A and B are shown apart, each in its own frame.
Chain A
């Protein structure tokens, strides 16, 4: 494996400017919101919420080369913060959203301090343990409503209370902002450092740079984005219970990141869209067979996709597609792409 980090390839061509890309995404989202019917708007709100989470995981997994199997825990922290603050204390959901992001960030920072120096599979296990403990806490605490969860979670409002379509705008503005931030991050100095950490931690250390710190930063960012998405989700859907924030959700998030390409910010958005729409389709087909078969068919196909994509395109579909394009048109070190 190449030990020299692939540094910035000179100035970016204009269509790769982060602000332009984010703006393009926003325009597509606005067009979608104006042209599509209400059921599509709800569907795409979910896609946006997952995309927000997956963009964060993308930074941590694709660029820092680590995996979190407990991201549902952070998503849940955000959701329960909004839920608790609006149902138990009657405060504004905005406060809950901020509190959730703050708590998730602090928890991720502390967790990162403890576990990020562990090897890949031990780290995966430690994040898995975190997700499980968080889920047990959601079930067992009284403030979270135990197994029955929380209902009647407050709507966001800016003067007037958010409608379903307002949530759609809000979510996709957040996605565009997150994508903008992530793209800038990837092309910045820290991005080059991330790239270096991914290709060789030893080399990074030899150069006197601290891989743990940049990994921790990405972990914190991914946790904050997950909590943000979770908080908006709770307020949008109005009720939450522990069965939402499970290991299965963590795995689905990993799947979305993997399908889209772990090293492509916009690939993350595409991956979420593809997986989510495919899931809906499979569910519909499965339910024609029997009520239980919908979920089972979805599970089976999700699992097989994960296996096949990882066997043949371990960097994800979008990254593989981009890599092929790059190899055929521009001369660049092939090892950096095919590794």
Chain B
């Protein structure tokens, strides 16, 4: 029983990073209708840039901000140069484009930073705390806190600011939003930048726990995507919940079965969700079948 509790506690840690990445997927999907297979690379960019700035001797906070800024710039570039011009393409074509972006970003990162995993310094030392019998590293607390703050910030941005309301309106009805003079390019840009920031924060917070490398984005991205689908990709809270659930399932499966099978079990869960409830646990739109 106490073992299960330990698995749950560690699962919530990774799960909250998945939740952040899943929210990035959901945001881009809702705003632009695109499944962004490159979402995990924002997490990789966040993690590797944080390491790079730490190597340069930067203090923690500026290094973290700079790392997130790097991801934001990449997100803006992708939106401006690739995704916005290609927005009228067929769904299949858009899938291929984001898969290509994912591959290219991984390649560029490997060219810049090599293939070896690097150790990223934790935000506040290597300590750990005890939580009703389970051990939790302090970095894990930072992950939880960071995920909660980012989720809250995103919620406040979408609900309480003029810009955010506009983005939400554009999600619900792009034509109407355009008629009211909202510029689709601007919204695409904001969406991609937000998604990049969310992903980069997740990656940067996770990196001290798992170490970072130029290839980490693929697995993280796929996990986040699976989380988003499980929870419902057209609902931000749903996607976050799905990410958490996936983290829990993986952690418990890795603990009781084996870490090799844990990934397989995660994909089996995905498969079940696709068959039984393709819109996800909290997705609202019934699947549109032609």
Q: Which residues of A contact B (CB under 8 A)?
A: 61, 65-67, 69, 114-115, 117-122, 124-126, 128-130, 132-133, 136-137, 139-140, 201-202, 247, 251, 254-255, 258, 292-293, 295-307, 310-311, 314
Contacts and interface: CB of A to CB of B under 8 A. Distances in A.
B185 interface: no
Given A293-B111, A314-B93, A133 B106 contact: no
B82 A307 contact: yes
A120 B92 contact: yes
Given A125-B270, A297-B111, A303 B106 contact: yes
A251 B214 CA distance: 18
A292 B95 contact: no
Contacts, number: 140
Nearest to B82: A307
Contacts of A311: 82, 85-86, 89, 97
Interface of B: 35, 82, 85-86, 89-93, 95-97, 99-108, 110-111, 114-115, 214, 218, 222, 225-226, 229, 258, 260-261, 263-264, 267-268, 270-271, 274-275, 278, 287-290
Nearest to B110: A296
Contacts of B91: 119-121
A66 B93 CA distance: 11
A292 B100 contact: no
Contacts of B104: 299-300, 302-304, 306-307
Nearest to A117: B289
What are the nearest 7 A-B pairs in CB distance? A303-B104, A306-B100, A300-B107, A299-B107, A303-B103, A136-B264, A296-B110
A305 B214 CA distance: 20
A76 to B, nearest CB: 14
Contact of B225 (A125, A126, A139, A303): A125
A253 to B, nearest CB: 12
Contacts of B86: 310-311
Nearest to A300: B107
Nearest to A252: B103
A310 B89 contact: yes
13 contacts: A67-B92, A69-B99, A115-B274, A115-B275, A118-B278, A119-B278, A125-B225, A258-B96, A292-B114, A296-B115, A303-B107, A305-B100, A307-B97
A101 to B, nearest CB: 24
Contacts of A303: 100-107
Contacts of A67: 92, 95-96
Given A65-B92, A129-B267, A114 B275 contact: yes
Contacts of A119: 91, 278, 287-289
A67 B95 CA distance: 9
B260 A139 contact: yes
Nearest to A132: B267
A125 B229 contact: yes
A10 to B, nearest CB: 29
A132 B222 contact: yes
Contacts of A304: 100, 104
A140 B261 contact: yes
Contacts of B92: 61, 65-67, 120
Contacts of B289: 117, 119
Q: Which of B101, B114, B267 has the most CB of A within 10 A?
A: B267
A232 to B, nearest CB: 27
A137 B110 CA distance: 28
Given A311-B85, A314-B93, A136 B107 contact: no
Contacts of A302: 100, 103-104, 107
A140 B106 contact: no
Given A140-B261, A247-B218, A296-B107, 13 more contacts: A120-B91, A120-B92, A120-B95, A122-B274, A122-B287, A125-B225, A129-B270, A299-B106, A302-B103, A303-B102, A303-B104, A304-B104, A311-B97
Contacts of A125: 225, 229, 270, 274
Given A125-B229, A295-B110, A302-B103, A314 B274 contact: no
